[in-house]
Amino acid sequence: MRTRDDKKQEALFLATIKLVNEIGFASSSVSKIAKAAGVSPSTLYIYFKNKEDLLVSTYYEIKAGMGQAMLNGFDDSRPVRDIFHLVWRNAFAYAVENQDEFRYVEQFSNSPYAGLADAVIIKESFEPITRVIRRGIEQKIIKDVSMDMIAAFMLHPIKVLANPNHCGQFEPTEENINTAFQMAWDALKL
């Protein structure tokens, strides 16, 4: 079950994401994913224990990448608002450039597999960000609310705006992105 050829594992991740986006979670069968990745269905079972393992691993893989992308250029010593701005822009850029990954996460979160993903593992990659937010709250720059509420107004609107399925009208021009950020910041700031 463990691996030699990392390219095949990578190909399976990509094929999974691509297929889930194209034909949906329900129709993405193991054999279709394997074919899309250019391997035999039985080969897939060398790299992953079963379908569930494949889907959950793909989820982890994306989340790790997302966390990294959001921390791009992260500098703890800068003022809270600046860090926040950076992180938000990073998140938005990622969402626009990696729509397939974003949509996969969305579908995964609403699937019966969601419960199988370990929330703690995920939260780890976002730890630096939560730390900054706590600092913002202490410094009375940000409203004193739970992390869930922060995320609800900071990140979830991004999910919607970046998804052309949900938002026919929204164009990610520099001006619009700035306005969107301003709204997010207005929601959070004291």
Binding interface with its own copies (CB under 8 A): 1, 23-27, 42, 103, 106-107, 109-115, 119, 143, 145-149, 151-153, 156-157, 159-161, 165-170, 176, 179-180, 182-184, 186-189
Q: Could you tell me how many residues of this chain bind DNA (CB under 7 A)?
A: 23
Q: Closest by alpha carbon to 186, among 155, 145, 153?
A: 153
Nearer to DNA, 52 or 124 (CB): 52
Shortest gap between Cβ of 112 and DNA (angstroms)? 12
Q: Report if residue 40 touches DNA, rule: CB under 7 A.
A: yes
Say which entry of DNA, its own copies, none residue 117 contacts (CB below 5 to 8 A, set by partner kind). Answer: none
Say which entry of DNA, its own copies, none residue 43 contacts (CB below 5 to 8 A, set by partner kind). Answer: DNA
φ and ψ of 170, to 5 deg: -60, 120
DSSP 53-65: HHHHHHHHHHHHH
Q: Report if residue 89 touches DNA, rule: CB under 7 A.
A: no
Shortest gap between Cβ of 61 and DNA (angstroms)? 18
Chain positions 102 to 161 lying near DNA, rule: CB under 7 A, are none
Say which entry of DNA, its own copies, none residue 140 contacts (CB below 5 to 8 A, set by partner kind). Answer: none
Q: Report if residue 79 touches DNA, rule: CB under 7 A.
A: no
Shortest gap between Cβ of 75 and its own copies (angstroms)? 26
Q: How far is 17 from 7, CA to CA, in rounded Å?
A: 15
Going from the C-alpha of 72 to that of each of 27, 104, 154, 174, 185, the distances in angstroms are 35, 22, 17, 19, 20
Q: Closest by alpha carbon to 9, among 77, 81, 80, 60?
A: 60
What's the token pair of residue 56? 């959950």
Q: Closest by alpha carbon to 25, among 113, 156, 150?
A: 113
What's the token pair of residue 41? 């269905």
Q: Which residues here bind DNA, judged by CB under 7 A?
A: 1-5, 8, 27-32, 39-43, 45-47, 50-52
